[in-house]
Structure 1
Amino acid sequence: MTAPDGEIEDSQELETLLAFIRDSRGFDFTGYKRTSLARRIQKRMQTVKIAGYGEYRDFLETNADEFPELFNTILINVTSFLRDAEAWSYLRKTVVPELVAKVGADEEIRIWSAGCSSGEEAYSLAIIFAEELGIEESTRRVKIYGTDVDEEALREARTGLYPAKSLEHLPGELKKKYFEPTGNLFAFRRDLRRRVIFGRHDITRDAPISRVDLLACRNTLMYFNVEAQAKIIERFHFALNEGGHLFLGKAEMLLSDGVRFDVANIRNRVFKLRSSGPAVKSARFDARAGAGTRDATRRRQVCELALASSPDSVLGLDRDGTVALINGTARLQFGLSPHDVGRPFHDLEVSYRPIELRAVIDQAHSERRSIRLDSVWRRRGAEEAQYFDVIVRPLITVDGEDIGAAITFVDTTEATRLQHEVKRVQEDLATAYTELQSTNAELETVNEELQSSIEELETTNEELQSTNEELETTNEELQSGNEELETMNEEMRIRTAELDETRMFFEGVLASVEAGVVVLDGELQIRSWNRGAEELWGLRTGEVYRQDFFDLDFGLPTTTLRGVVEACNETGHRADPVEIDAVDRKGRSLVASVSCSPLRGPGGGVVLMIEKRQPN
């Protein structure tokens, strides 16, 4: 189905707007999911009453103050201390003790909170490590980096000041131990605060923080598309030390990334960097070393990394038969580990299975040449077979010294299997050609159906993950909107209280005036009738409110005042007092002195002050 032209045009305008934001302000949102991103931008456009992306871009060009408002709308900063208590409990009871035991007592523990928003997550990490190590030891060994692209949120994080509502998920003893009251806010304790460093960092573009033992990035990946998530995970893999942990949000997963990460706890979204052996880890160069030493180290590192990344299994032995090197493929293929380096080769199963190699190694040393063993068979599992070409090479230095041997296992399973299949087909071709054709066709059909089923399952899994992330995003947006409504409700309550207080004040003033005071609006209808007026004429406020003043019959000949009142209302000038013969509520005659003053305010109106005088 072809998308409507309007949707295509809107999509193009959205991409143009995102490119403009990236080029003008350095915020790259092009990796964000388009559905949630468009929804957040449209929310801001509705606020400023703009309908189209193109018009909104023009608005941004002429109104620089709009950028912070837009970024605050896109970057939903919904967070709290120890959010998702079960996940934090697992981190505190399982991951933190393991990490502390792994890092040396004199080494620094490095933690990175990516997408930290206003800092609650970074300070939560400081709390759980302080609980494990003690505050004094934690201030000496633990360093936490909190990063985000939102400068406004980072400014809030750097202060370490939070309202009581932000601390509602914290147990009372932790709140008392790690926060100090400061007016209406609570300040995170200063000694631990100095170990938390906040800075702006874009996880999609900037170089990652290196040598990290624990990386927390919770409810951030879900805003990015699949391609952007893959790039971010690649940066996280580079940032983590071997055996380091990655802590994600409850709606996030590492899909199809079992090569670099193992699942530590899928329920709480904790993943552990898979060990890749000593040869893969980058060497750390001493800046004080000479250029020759650094170049030699660099060349050795390149050789080690090339060997470690080889698709063939490679083992290196010294001249005494001790294992000096095992690359990653060999560890996976033969069940070896870095702990096997340094052991005698003849103690390992691979020395005699799938083929006896000790005699071959001796032959290679004695003849000082490479020896190749083709199509070595090995059983893998109940029925699966593997074939290798095994190459044993003596390692001869430029001086002619034999210092060891290299053993390479080239997996030829597929090639050998194809050779056997071809041979079998050739043998049976004369008698069973038709049957073979049918069988091959059926196998191809089954394989295609299976592949199609696998692709459908993968697509369904991706769609479910995307839907889950969208639901979580919507939940965060609703929570953000709820907080905004609560803030507005509190402001309205305060304003209502202020208005009630003002109304009571003015009613008290009017009630304290002994003379009768009548306030008329611009339509000359009664809006206020004080107690003095009630005492004079016997009419209550509820009886005269919003009544036409000149239609009332209450002992004061109002028609006599019509000209004076209308002139005062129209000109806005105070009129001279007018004395009129009147009758009070008890039927007694009196002279009413009426002063007419204009009401200063929208809509106009007048204020009448009526004072009673006895007739001469």
Structure 2
Amino acid sequence: MAQNDYQDFISKIKRKTGIDLSLYKEAQMKRRLTSLYEKKGFASFEVFYEALSKEHQLLDEFLDRMTINVSEFYRNSKRWEVLEQKILPKILAENKRPKIWSAACSTGEEPYTIAMVMSKFMPLSELQIQATDLDTNVINRAKAGVYPERSLNEVPAEIRKKYFTQEGSFYKVDDKIKKTIVYKQHNLLAEPFGGPYDLIVCRNVLIYFTEEAKDELYKKFSAALRPGGIFFVGSTEQIFNPAAYGFDTEDTFFYRKQ
């Protein structure tokens, strides 16, 4: 019964929101959503869905829980050093104004980090980065650009001084950085990708998908890059057969389209 309850829930959610939960690893997603509905006092997925249909706020909260928003600036800072010292100089040698996409950008730390790194190479007025996420709530938080101190743990001191202002116990991102990002809602699994991009950054998201969904996404990311373009993934997301998607390994967690 419980299994069917979840399967019914999945198909109703897909019809209602266009989001296909079956593409996420089932055990993780089911556990996360069960704890949410139990916390709210519901007894089953069926009752939970009825409530979601009626209460907009509950639906928002459900979407928030579904999209995994754990982010910070310069996350795994050594990788950002590789981007700055090794990857970007090559990209910029081929295109002075590269086309960059931060996919599944969550609350904005990642696209803002890209902009801060890029600011060492070009005037911010010439920079535009596309950033997308499934969840409009997190996009709104990203646009606000206000973060708790723990999000800044790995930010280099000179960058912190230059691009953040402290307001009480929070830190606000400089408007010059904020203006470089264009935010848009986008469903990676269901909607087409634009392109061709010079750099696509999609980190710490793919681990939540099934192998089939991941396979599909790697193909889409590859198709969205120009030849020689770079795909930058998270530090638990190594692609073990990059050639299958038309990639060569450029560095750990960086893949170059052949």
TM-score band by shorter chain is over 0.9
Deviation at 1:60, TM superposition (A): 2.2
CA distance in 1, matches of 2:60, 2:34: 15
Contact 2:232 2:255 in 1 (8 A): yes
Deviation at 1:172, TM superposition (A): 1.6
CA distance in 1, matches of 2:154, 2:165: 16
Q: For the structure 1 residues 64 and 181, does the alpha-carbon distance in structure 2 shift closer, same or farther, using more than 3 Å as the test?
A: closer
The residue correspondences of 1:570-609 to structure 2 (distance < 5 A) are none
Match of 1:414 in 2: none
- Are 1:14 and 2:6 matched, yes or no? yes
Question: 1:125-168 CA distances to partner (integer Å, 9 max, x unpaired)?
Answer: 0011112x14x2x421x321111011111001112222333222
Greater relative CO, 1 or 2 (CA 8 Å, sep 6+)? 2
Match of 2:129 in 1: 144
Match of 1:232 in 2: 217
CA distance in 2, matches of 1:43, 1:76: 15
Contact 1:112 1:209 in 2 (8 A): no
CA distance in 2, matches of 1:253, 1:15: 30
- Are 1:190 and 2:178 matched, yes or no? no
Match of 1:25 in 2: 17
**Unpaired segments of 5 or more residues in structure 1?**
1-8, 275-616
- Are 1:126 and 2:115 matched, yes or no? yes
The residue correspondences of 1:523-538 to structure 2 (distance < 5 A) are none
SS at match of 2:218: helix
| Alignment-mate amino acid for residue 60 of structure 2 | P
Alignment counterpart, residue 91 of structure 1, candidates 83, 94, 108:
83
**Unpaired segments of 5 or more residues in structure 2?**
none
| Alignment-mate amino acid for residue 99 of structure 2 | R
Between Structure 1 and Structure 2, how many residues are aligned?
257
Larger Cα Rg: Structure 1 or Structure 2? 1
Deviation at 1:208, TM superposition (A): 0.6
SS at match of 1:264: strand
RMSD after superposition: 1.6
Match of 1:264 in 2: 250
TM-score scaled to structure 2, two decimals? 0.93
Match of 2:100 in 1: 111
Deviation at 1:96, TM superposition (A): 1.0
Deviation at 1:97, TM superposition (A): 1.1
- Are 1:243 and 2:228 matched, yes or no? yes
SS at match of 1:245: strand
Contact 1:22 1:29 in 2 (8 A): yes
CA distance in 1, matches of 2:248, 2:92: 19
Question: 1:364-423 CA distances to partner (integer Å, 9 max, x unpaired)?
Answer: xxxxxxxxxxxxxxxxxxxxxxxxxxxxxxxxxxxxxxxxxxxxxxxxxxxxxxxxxxxx
Contact 2:100 2:197 in 1 (8 A): yes
CA distance in 2, matches of 1:42, 1:32: 15
| Alignment-mate amino acid for residue 264 of structure 1 | E
| Alignment-mate amino acid for residue 273 of structure 1 | K
SS at match of 1:145: strand
Contact 1:146 1:198 in 2 (8 A): yes
Contact 2:53 2:59 in 1 (8 A): no
Match of 1:209 in 2: 194
Deviation at 1:182, TM superposition (A): 4.2
Deviation at 1:183, TM superposition (A): 5.0
Q: Percent identity?
A: 26
Question: 1:203-254 CA distances to partner (integer Å, 9 max, x unpaired)?
Answer: 1011112121111100111111111111111211121111011111111132
- Are 1:72 and 2:58 matched, yes or no? no
CA distance in 2, matches of 1:66, 1:125: 33
Deviation at 1:184, TM superposition (A): 4.5
Deviation at 1:89, TM superposition (A): 1.3
Question: 1:12-59 CA distances to partner (integer Å, 9 max, x unpaired)?
Answer: 221210111121123222211101110111110110122322222233
CA distance in 2, matches of 1:130, 1:174: 10
TM-score scaled to structure 1, two decimals? 0.40
Contact 1:79 1:121 in 2 (8 A): yes
CA distance in 1, matches of 2:45, 2:239: 34
CA distance in 1, matches of 2:88, 2:242: 23
